[in-house]
Structure 1
């Protein structure tokens, strides 16, 4: 039994729609058949198939009801004949019908072969993205970004793109930010109009604050209703104006490839967020005959040397110093070899900001660990003894612990970072690596300069003895101390691991206790956004799937994005999650006590996170005995896929 066939029935493709006995008489149902959806009806023993889309506003006819032998649209009450597609409102509203064949193994529906694909505006945008090297997208597909999503789907099928569907757009932005921090290259995050795009903003502010390149793509409402207060209609250009270094609306007549190029060029060169708004109808317009563009001939060499006068002044101060120290921030990440070479010529201790943790191995005889609130007493001691600071790629945040009272030579590629909060003795504008090499090649050191390596080793011996004492101490709470956790990680974390760290007491403990060798460390530095840690691990894995990825979070931060654990399982991401569960927002409790307030509303009601991990299909173990910490972490690190070690920690021990 078949309904009326559409034109071109010699080009039909048959699809099994349902089992033969699954539809009751008088019932209509939505059935996917190929790339189409049909409203399949059984009435008086016969089957009919019509297009599922009501011509009024696209209502799903298969979700309607069969009344008086007609399908009634659930949105507006239009009636359609289930066999002929005729509409009660007249022939202008008739819908296509499709042949039906009842076979032994089910009910089949035939639909026309898909039309030849038309290259769309979205295709041009995606082609330009991939030409620029953007091959990773984190996002959520929805009704106002489907055209762009389909172009991404085609690019993924061709092997040019990887798409990771997340559970919350905020996680997509954090993941893209982490990808940019690790690689220096942008990934994209992707959302729909309205809330789908505004959910991106916190993660994008993290990228802005830490100067990570990210491409943000916003689907938007149809241009015909934009600005009229339509469903999910907000001014996305206004919403993204502060967070982005570039933001533009794609119009039908735009130079689409050039706007994507502008977004990416701004993101890369300004190390921030490039943003595009894509109206729904523009996404699927046939593309003008414009080629997708790429970076050739568009990008300069940024390795600019310092001005001669500033270099002479810096060398003069170095020549007069007897106890110089080198301070590195995240801006020196790509040039550590040149910076360390200079430090070794001066036998100068190397201190890092918290954001720069891991940029020099703590096993290096000049390394002193992190400076500031999350730092080591080794670094603070050597800072206090210094008579000159050589600062590379750091911007003197109020949390960094860099002394504003010491003579300072500051090197940065961004003129706005030089003397950002207080004047410095010699501001040097130049590439960190080029400038460090120039200083080393022209170096004249003081004859009385102190070899500080012995003192660095002495301070480390004192601090490591204290860390060992804290790790061995028995907690009266029956929980595990943070010192114990990070002692185990010091022994077990692979040297090529990427470690993502959230915000909270565990992060302060990580800064103090963990001694990196060559691990890469990612954190929400200047924004300090709780919730960063686990979504960042998704981004780190996407950027470096061959490296071990270790997420270190607290229960407060992970609780904000715990559904993303299913994302890690879905894509089989090899992420080991070390979750320090102390049952409260312990850092906030401390701040309340410090201000002599009552501790209030910082307790947390947590699930068994390790059981959640197992329910998701991953490895999950809970640890409350210090004796088990090392063995369980070791087991998790060898697990081939997502793994969680939930460690019940003492909120007073960090």
Structure 2
């Protein structure tokens, strides 16, 4: 049998291209300019050899096909330029056949894909366990995007195309906060890359490992002010713990390995810059890398002297209290065991909300301005605080005047804001295990369980009183989050925003085993919904995903609701609509300023959700809350509950 060298593709119907017109068509992976001139069809390479203009978007003028970008002329059938001096600029042409069912173009049989630099790096990334990428495909990352596509086709990668790159970074950050594992975000050069910065800072300050993959202009024009050129190394220098440009002669698998290692080991942001031409550079025999022999176990044991001092302090304590932060989230079973051994109340920072159930006999809820009076009372009555995985920023509410044992994997975090009595450097899981072993049978503490329950009874009575508050200007926050407490499943993931809605969530919502995600130290408005997309990618098939925001926060990434519809993400968004930036209005009044420029002009968000193809429902009466939230939670796909809320009853 003779070898087949030409493959024929039907590109148009017989009546789809009128006389003296040109149209872009695609045959296989080839883009062509198909012309119809003097009763004949011509198939030309669609790319003008001068500036790359799309000839299929041009026009036939005076018998010549004119490039739409710079006006160069070509014969619409032969592809030759009328200027003999430019004979080398003739376009490639391909055979055309008019058949009974349409117009066919013959192309050389496509050769198998040649492995590229991007393939090596994408394979390495997947080998290291990065299985989710959030991003936007564009002209300066197409080679890399195609490599990611191949990984997705093989079932090794999930790609989620977003509407704004900032949402991609927030989604990746939330994915990492929930799982402890990095996700990646993909953008083009210039504005696509710089749009990542807010979400990357969120990940950095909350110690969430993520990987940013950004396109870049061709390396030969770097520094010349080329279109969308931006010094990405400089732009990302403050936020990325590690940032490198991929060069043609780089050790490409090693670069990706180092990027992921830095993200994992430093719990931080890594960044790789891909110049356009390097992405498609052949790398046929270059092996991908993997983690084998490249990572050490991270269970760091504490120095013996600090551990012994911590043990001695706890043995002497009569009223110890444990405070857990976001950094302790993966170690709560052992921490709870230690608390039960010590009889110690467990308080959480706001970032640690939900890490101990509010129904647990030792659970006291959130400490600080977003928390419960229960947590504050027990901290003030303690004779020693054991602080695990928490900073001492002003938002944590941890009182520095108490004797403190602080445990953290990062030695720089120990005593960061003020001295502590016993700084313990070590992985929380190891330290807690050693404390459990050393303290068994060695403590004599007060039994405070009944006191905890008494304080919860007082607080729940007060919350019930607040549910009855009504000024006739919308629903109060106590009733909104009481309904959420009743309706949201115990194992849900809840992403929250910033503002009064979030403070009220911290104060009123009672957690069982839910995971709570937030933009902790950055405190970025707009975090909640993109974070819910990241949580859905990580756990949406096993857990219900909820997000909570005000109208100001949801408006930041409003278009991402269409992303959720596209991928049929089971996300329920609880939206508190009060037509203002309520927290800022409150701060202006507290500072004795006039309330100025905090009002918002909003749509009917429930109808917006419906227009996007999701579920939307508006709530104006307290007795509608439970049913509306229940309906949204049972909807398969994205759902939005718009609650008309009172900005003062928070």
Q: TM-score range by the shorter chain?
A: over 0.9
1:77 paired to 2:74: no
Distance (Å, rounded) in 2 between the aligned partners of 1:482 and 1:102: 69
Pairing partner for 1:541 from 525, 536, 541: 536
Pairing partner for 1:501 from 496, 499, 504: 496
Pairs aligned (count): 646
Paired position in structure 1 for 2:27 = 33
Paired position in structure 1 for 2:393 = 397
Secondary structure of residue in 2 paired with 1:170: helix
Paired position in structure 2 for 1:512 = 507
Pairing partner for 1:437 from 406, 417, 433: 433
**1:244-263 alignment runs, 5 A limit:** 244-263=240-259
Secondary structure of residue in 2 paired with 1:464: helix
Q: Are the counterparts in 1 of residues 316 and 443 from structure 2 also a CA contact under 8 Å? A: no
Distance (Å, rounded) in 2 between the aligned partners of 1:428 and 1:222: 49
Q: Deviation per CA, 1:60-89: give whole Å up to 9, x if none.
A: 011111112110111111111111111234
Distance (Å, rounded) in 1 between the aligned partners of 2:199 and 2:190: 16
The structural deviation recorded for 1:336 is: 0.9
Q: Deviation per CA, 1:502-555: give whole Å up to 9, x if none.
A: 111110011001111111111000000001100001100001121110011111
Q: Decide which moves more: 439-448 or 362-371.
A: 439-448
Paired position in structure 1 for 2:419 = 423
Pairing partner for 2:93 from 90, 97, 101: 97
The structural deviation recorded for 1:283 is: 0.4
Q: Are the counterparts in 2 of residues 222 and 280 from structure 1 also a CA contact under 8 Å? A: yes
Paired position in structure 2 for 1:565 = 561
**1:521-532 alignment runs, 5 A limit:** 521-532=516-527
Pairing partner for 2:44 from 37, 47, 50: 50
Distance (Å, rounded) in 2 between the aligned partners of 1:505 and 1:193: 36
The structural deviation recorded for 1:468 is: 1.3
Pairing partner for 1:166 from 159, 162, 169: 162
Q: Are the counterparts in 2 of residues 39 and 50 from structure 1 also a CA contact under 8 Å? A: yes
Secondary structure of residue in 2 paired with 1:442: helix
Structure 1: tracts of 5 or more residues without a match: 1-7
1:317 paired to 2:313: yes
Pairing partner for 1:491 from 483, 486, 507: 486
Distance (Å, rounded) in 2 between the aligned partners of 1:367 and 1:34: 62
The structural deviation recorded for 1:480 is: 1.4
The structural deviation recorded for 1:472 is: 2.9
**1:6-21 alignment runs, 5 A limit:** 10-21=4-15
Pairing partner for 1:23 from 12, 17, 34: 17
Distance (Å, rounded) in 2 between the aligned partners of 1:392 and 1:128: 34
Q: Deviation per CA, 1:150-188: give whole Å up to 9, x if none.
A: 101111111111111100000000000000001111110
Secondary structure of residue in 2 paired with 1:269: helix
Secondary structure of residue in 2 paired with 1:164: strand
Structure 2: tracts of 5 or more residues without a match: none
Q: Are the counterparts in 2 of residues 65 and 73 from structure 1 also a CA contact under 8 Å? A: yes
Q: Decide which moves more: 203-212 or 491-500.
A: 491-500
Q: Are the counterparts in 2 of residues 26 and 42 from structure 1 also a CA contact under 8 Å? A: yes
1:468 paired to 2:456: no
Q: Deviation per CA, 1:179-238: give whole Å up to 9, x if none.
A: 000111111001011011000110000000100010100100001101111111111111
Distance (Å, rounded) in 1 between the aligned partners of 2:116 and 2:499: 46
Secondary structure of residue in 2 paired with 1:577: strand
Paired position in structure 1 for 2:453 = 457
Q: Are the counterparts in 1 of residues 358 and 512 from structure 2 also a CA contact under 8 Å? A: yes
Distance (Å, rounded) in 1 between the aligned partners of 2:90 and 2:275: 28
The structural deviation recorded for 1:566 is: 0.5
Q: Deviation per CA, 1:617-648: give whole Å up to 9, x if none.
A: 11111111111110010011011111111111
Pairing partner for 1:277 from 273, 283, 301: 273
The structural deviation recorded for 1:602 is: 0.4
Q: Decide which moves more: 286-295 or 579-588.
A: 286-295
Secondary structure of residue in 2 paired with 1:521: strand
Q: Decide which moves more: 509-518 or 306-315.
A: 306-315
Q: Are the counterparts in 2 of residues 320 and 445 from structure 1 also a CA contact under 8 Å? A: no
Give the TM-score normalised by structure 2.
Answer: 0.97
* Aligned-residue RMSD, C-alpha: 1.4
Paired position in structure 2 for 1:60 = 54
Distance (Å, rounded) in 1 between the aligned partners of 2:580 and 2:228: 36
Paired position in structure 2 for 1:133 = 129
Distance (Å, rounded) in 1 between the aligned partners of 2:597 and 2:430: 51
Q: Are the counterparts in 1 of residues 341 and 440 from structure 2 also a CA contact under 8 Å? A: no
Provide closer, same or farther for how the CA distance between residues 489 and 91 of structure 1 changes in structure 2, counting only shifts above 3 A.
Answer: same
The structural deviation recorded for 1:444 is: 7.2
Provide closer, same or farther for how the CA distance between residues 22 and 444 of structure 1 changes in structure 2, counting only shifts above 3 A.
Answer: closer
Secondary structure of residue in 2 paired with 1:460: helix
Secondary structure of residue in 2 paired with 1:348: coil
The structural deviation recorded for 1:448 is: 6.0
The structural deviation recorded for 1:10 is: 4.5
1:142 paired to 2:138: yes
The structural deviation recorded for 1:447 is: 7.0
Give the TM-score normalised by structure 1.
Answer: 0.97
Q: Are the counterparts in 2 of residues 319 and 444 from structure 1 also a CA contact under 8 Å? A: no
1:175 paired to 2:188: no
The structural deviation recorded for 1:23 is: 2.1
Distance (Å, rounded) in 2 between the aligned partners of 1:558 and 1:421: 34
Distance (Å, rounded) in 2 between the aligned partners of 1:482 and 1:227: 53
**1:261-340 alignment runs, 5 A limit:** 261-287=257-283, 289-340=285-336
The structural deviation recorded for 1:342 is: 1.2
Q: Are the counterparts in 2 of residues 328 and 394 from structure 1 also a CA contact under 8 Å? A: yes
**1:115-126 alignment runs, 5 A limit:** 115-126=111-122
Q: Are the counterparts in 1 of residues 353 and 506 from structure 2 also a CA contact under 8 Å? A: yes
Q: Are the counterparts in 2 of residues 486 and 510 from structure 1 also a CA contact under 8 Å? A: yes
